[in-house]
Amino acid sequence: MLVEPFAGGAGISLVAVSESLVKEAAFAELDSNVAATWNCMLNGHATWLAKRIRSFRFSRKRVEKQLQRKPGSQHERAFQCLLKNRTARGGVIAEGAGLIRKGDGNGLRSRWYPDTLAQRIEKISALKTNLDFRRVDGFELIRQYRRRKRAVFFVDPPYTKAARRLYRHWNIDHEKLFKDLQNVAGDVLMTYDDTSEVRRWAKKYGFRVKPISMKTTHHAMKRELMIAKNFDWLIAQATKK
């Protein structure tokens, strides 16, 4: 099984399950808005959410009005979360994040495609028996699966530099994360920003590091790190190809 302690949109978990790379994925997220979205999709309310997305009459004025409302239910909280993610610059849902400007490509509509979003939600709901979402601290999820040899961990935590402006729950103990993952029975793959601190923690707790090039939401290239106990599995996959 796959364990994703800081899931957010849980893209890795969804791909791993949908492509039958693992039988099950357990993933966690503390943000109340993201948690409401996952609970809505996996606990029998995906149809409501998909219908709400398809029926929303989209305009900048209606988007702003919807995002200013206090949600009356977890269903509405989930819809607001998705609407904010699709209309905010860079998909950032943290407080203070601004909406996409009119001059950015297709403007506010550039990432709002209701039929596609609704279909994704329906597909995710169809996988719900293989998806175990929990609104718990990522460290707690790691503790729960630390002794399982056949549990693999994909860990994409709030990064050390940009996390404050991107996430509500950004302040984590990074060194403790390395320490805890050092002791899990299964394989580990982490992604991190490339800083001297991250490299030092990786070395201290026996992890290997590989730099990779990534493209930001603004299409700029930057370097990040892949971190693992070893990369034998990656070499094996590359050899097969």
* Two structure tokens written together for 144: 């729960």
SS3 97: coil
**For range 195-212, the mean pLDDT:** 94
Is the Cβ–Cβ distance between 99 and 59 less than 8 Å? no
Is the Cβ–Cβ distance between 220 and 236 less than 8 Å? no
Q: DSSP labels for 103-159?
A: TSTTGGGGG--HHHHHHHHHHHHHTGGGEEEE-S-HHHHHHHHTT-TT-EEEE-PPP
Domain C-terminal end among 74, 105, 128: 128
Domain C-terminal end among 79, 109, 128: 128
Weakest mean pLDDT among 136-150, 153-167, 207-221:
153-167
| Per-residue pLDDT tens digits for 152-189 | 999 999 876 654 444 454 568 899 999 999 999 999 99
144 CB contacts (<8 Å, ≥6 apart)?
26
Same structural domain, 217 and 161: yes
Same structural domain, 110 and 161: no
Which of the two residues, 180 and 214, has the higher pLDDT score?
180
Q: What per-residue confidence (pLDDT) applies to 39?
A: 94
**For range 41-46, the mean pLDDT:** 93
**pTM score:** 0.85
Q: What per-residue confidence (pLDDT) applies to 219?
A: 57
Compute how many other C-beta atoms are within 10 angstroms of the C-beta atom of residue 88: 19
Q: Which domain holds residue 92?
A: 37-128
Nearest CA-CA partner of 30 in 130, 132, 134, 154 = 134
Same structural domain, 185 and 212: yes
Q: How confident is the model at residue 78 (pLDDT cuts 50, 70, 90)?
A: very high
CATH number at residue 222: 3.40.50.150
Same structural domain, 94 and 113: yes
Domain C-terminal end among 128, 157, 190: 128
| Per-residue pLDDT tens digits for 49-75 | 999 999 999 999 998 999 898 988 999
Same structural domain, 220 and 150: yes
Same structural domain, 26 and 41: no
